Structure 1
């Protein structure tokens, strides 16, 4: 795939204390296979769907043990310049840009309302080799209790155009690049326990949402929401056995009219 435009979600990975357990879980739920762990890069292990790289899992570095969480990376032509924009826009750079061999340059950051994300300046590794196919990344949403902070931040750091959903009952914003929507933002409601911080929820594509949910819960995942059918597909939100939140969506099963959007 070609290098993605700035601000495009381009990669996802997660740290798991039980790496083999994570491989077994996602291998069963999403059909992933896994490459060899790279000891040079902390046993970073790529996941593949139908032979194409779609994500990665890695054990935590010493001192970083804790609840697992998926991290979404946004494409950048210059990670150092993006890191500077993050600081100028009120975010925190948790890990400054670091070259990762010939693969590219990465950084980790936190936006002002608390969601952690990554920046990726691709080189030999450009990012997802497939999207919106079974087992691959499809969509993501920033869940936050302070949407004004997140909205201002993401529009300042990346060249997004923002539109709001025409539904007074839902506070939902869509960030786009040109005509392409690339990221959603949802205001967290009281349905979320107060101890749950802002986070970016990553959606992976499946060919049967209900079957994927059944496999996940049989392996110890917690079903948080759904399955339900929407104009975008049939989806469900889950927490995996090690605490990482993610969603699955069957984009071929849809119901209802697409919601209208208005300029933000």
Structure 2
């Protein structure tokens, strides 16, 4: 697998108090199977789709206080220590200092100036997603932020993103790319009308599914909650969901598109 350019989404994981419950939920909704828990690394357990690694689940770390379930998106880094320094210089906060994870790679956790939490991953033997853009795998991600100017400036400084704005007077949405390559990340402004003030800025991860409506129905049957959707978009039918333990994510059809592609500035 070729190394991903710095700033490319490369991995996703989430901590759950009830790991077995999470495995049941995502196994049904996304078709995941799971490997053996790694006791050496806090019972970190990789999820697979068609035998390829797509994400991981793990129990909360001891001493973290009240556990909060949330998905974390990791961005590729050539040098996690240098990236941590860039995070601070750009106005972000390093929440977990760079650390090696055996020979798998090195990681850090951080927060942008608007409060969105994300991870950084410098791959070793574990380079990241083994499957993308397919049902059950990572397809897309967006930074939902209450302070778009700060988030835009931060990510541009950190990873050298170029930004293109959607030509829509009703939505403040941008797409980031790396020097004219394929888009790697979206950015959505959170409005008071659509997002209650208690919801902080966050990174929304989109997992692919064959049928958005069916995936939402399964999620609700298993105790999940639909936040919005399903609705059509130029990229496929999608919906936002909160799982039974409170972790937010989204699902999107990967086999259909609807309407015309939006124009970008």
Normalising by structure 2, report the TM-score: 0.98
Q: Aligned residue for 1:244? A: 247
Q: Aligned residue for 2:159? A: 158
Matched, 1:188 2:190: yes
Q: Aligned with 1:233: secondary structure?
A: coil
- Structure 2 residue corresponding to 1:224, chosen from 224, 227, 230: 227
Distance 1:133 1:191 in 2: 29
Stretch deviating more after TM superposition (224-233 or 251-260): 251-260
Q: Aligned residue for 1:130? A: 131
Distance 1:256 1:208 in 2: 18
1:235-264 CA-to-partner distances (Å, cap 9, x unmatched) read 0000000000000000222211110011xx
Q: Aligned with 2:237: secondary structure?
A: strand
Question: Is the 1:6–1:159 Cα contact (8 Å) retained in structure 2?
Answer: no
Distance 2:54 2:164 in 1: 28
Distance 1:135 1:252 in 2: 12
Matched, 1:257 2:260: yes
RMSD: 0.7
Question: Is the 2:164–2:175 Cα contact (8 Å) retained in structure 1?
Answer: yes
Distance 2:160 2:150 in 1: 17
Q: Aligned residue for 1:66? A: 67
Question: Is the 2:13–2:57 Cα contact (8 Å) retained in structure 1?
Answer: yes
Question: Is the 1:229–1:253 Cα contact (8 Å) retained in structure 2?
Answer: no
Question: Is the 1:231–1:257 Cα contact (8 Å) retained in structure 2?
Answer: yes
Q: Aligned residue for 1:56? A: 56
Give 4+ residue runs of structure 1 displaced > 2 Å after superposition: 63-67
Deviation at 1:55, TM superposition (A): 0.2
1:198-234 CA-to-partner distances (Å, cap 9, x unmatched) read 0000000001111111100000111011101111001
Q: Aligned residue for 1:2? A: 2
Gaps of 5+ in 1: none
Question: Is the 2:135–2:254 Cα contact (8 Å) retained in structure 1?
Answer: no
Instruction: Give the total of aligned pairs.
Output: 262
